[in-house]
Amino acid sequence: MGGATASKPVDDMKYVVVSGGVLSGLGKGVTASSIGVLLKSAGLRVTAVKIDPYLNSDAGTMSPFEHGEVFVLDDGGEADLDLGNYERFCDLNLYRDNNITTGKIYSKVIEAERRGDYLGKTVQVIPHITDAVQNWIEDIAVVPADGIEGSPDACVIELGGTVGDIESAPFIEALRQFQFRVGRENIIFVHVSLVPVMGPVGEQKTKPTQHTVKELRGLGITPDVLVCRAEAPLSDETREKLAAFCHVSPRAVMSAHDVSNIYRVPLLLQAQGMCEALGIDCTKTDLMERWEAMADRVDNLGQEVHIAMVGKYTGLTDSYLSVIKSLQHASFAVNRTLVIDWIEASNLENNSHSDWAVLKAADGILVPGGFGDRGIEGKILAANYARVNSVPYLGICLGLQIATIEFCRNVLGLEGANSTEFDQNTANPAVIFMPEISKTHLGGTMRLGSRPTIFQVDDCKTRRLYGGGPQVDERHRHRYEVNPDLIQKIEAAGLVFVGKDETGLRCEIFELDGHPYYVGVQYHPEFKSRPERPSPPFLGLLKAATGGSI
């Protein structure tokens, strides 16, 4: 796979399609991201596309219990969490159009039909839906996502869902056609499958993979590479058997077995010949050397640091995936082994619950973003404990709002202070609905995407953590804000809003005078954290939690 030429970048675009079979949750996203790392290591500029076969226009209205976290992009797109994997692994800034859904495609085609674009033709899945998918991929593949002008050289496409699902059938057909549109030499199909171990002797079973490859080939796509998820490395016998039954070379059967940390996955694929399968030279840059050093460092971190995560979806960690990754990135920087102590916020509303002992034993406390009133009082109690006992605290979005409510109640003496999100008739609204936000539609109606935050003071902890510049740009996702009428009172009592939006009215960052680290941010800094470039607010929390200076 050579890079694009200056004269015909689009013609030379290379595509890697990652599909999955047997069952969901096998790690297609990590596989696609790891392939992106390998392409980058060969000096190629990379972009990525995630295809989600669900009918929703985007992930914005879905519960985290349904689909994990909603990942927010710079342009305000609300997307699947796999786009977060691509951004973190490949250091990209993607757009809403990098996430294709059935809802988006059908909306586009129906809109075109209403305009009369199809000139009286009967509008059908083939060719109209499949053409729309192919056109969308080609259009977004040439949009740079690395901050450099000019078209990328390669596009990694992940097909969500499982081969055989009814809802993904139009996308598989579109990709079958796409191989002829772009030329078979310009596209590689990678299929991720499961190799379970059964029976008392622990035999690796190939039948599930045989069936999913047979199904995929029956739909017109022949995989070039198999990535097989297993607990232990594939045996030579298993590899040979898969090659024989799945119409691939034994060298193209990759073992994606369990590794010590996620950063070893690109290294694992590289060691098994993925670069050769892709037709690239992964030694053109020092990227893989840096990844190996990072993976080694992660395996050899120092003593533990405990962060109490006080949330609502603690039973499903994918709900907070970017927050977890940001904490991990910061822990690498301070050379500590991160331990997240999960605390269900509502448990703290019971003074004698065992979660109180866990909270009090933690080195730092984090209250992430969220919606709804369940567990709110528990979060307020956690913020109060951190404030009164000088425990490092980071509040993100809702975490900033509940800490402001706590401060209004217990420092300013505003009895019953609350957010109008939880009590519309509160006598002391500390947090209010933003005036410009729709009250009738949920999808895409929040304050979304990258917005500037202007520092209001010459020197403060967060400004130092961000490098001392006059402003920062971070991604937002909220409908409520601190009540502007109370800001003067709050600041006079010591909770200072050191960062505000460009109008100077909307509160973005607070810090508490005289506290080692009591910080709230209205935005979501977790979406821009990278393994080698941790998010500054998270880094501040980890530094404070480990006794470091800021």
d(CA 98, CA 362): 39
Residue 512: closest CA among 489, 488, 487, 494 = 494
Q: Would you give the end-to-end CA distance of the chain in angstroms?
A: 46
Mean pLDDT on 488-505: 94
pTM of the model: 0.92
% the chain with pLDDT above 70: 95
Mean pLDDT on 16-31: 93
pLDDT for res 2: 45
Q: How many helices (H) and strands (E) does the chain have?
A: 18, 23
Q: Which residue has the higher pLDDT, 199 or 341?
A: 341
d(CA 81, CA 435): 29
Q: Per DSSP, what are the bridge partners of residue 47? A: 155
Residues noted as catalytic: 397, 524, 526
The answer to whether 345 and 373 have CB atoms below 8 angstroms apart is: no
d(CA 260, CA 268): 11
Supply φ then ψ for residue 246, to 5 degrees: -115, 10
Q: Binning pLDDT at 50, 70 and 90, where does residue 441 land?
A: very low
| Pick from 177-191, 194-208, 226-240, 327-341: least confident | 194-208
pLDDT for res 9: 41
pLDDT for res 5: 40
pLDDT tens for each residue of 122-131? 999 999 999 9
pLDDT tens for each residue of 368-421? 998 777 889 999 999 999 999 999 999 999 999 999 999 999 999 999 999 999
DSSP string, 355-387: HHHHHHH-SEEEE----SSTTHHHHHHHHHHHH
Predicted confidence (pLDDT) at residue 489 exceeds the cutoff of 60:
yes
d(CA 544, CA 536): 12
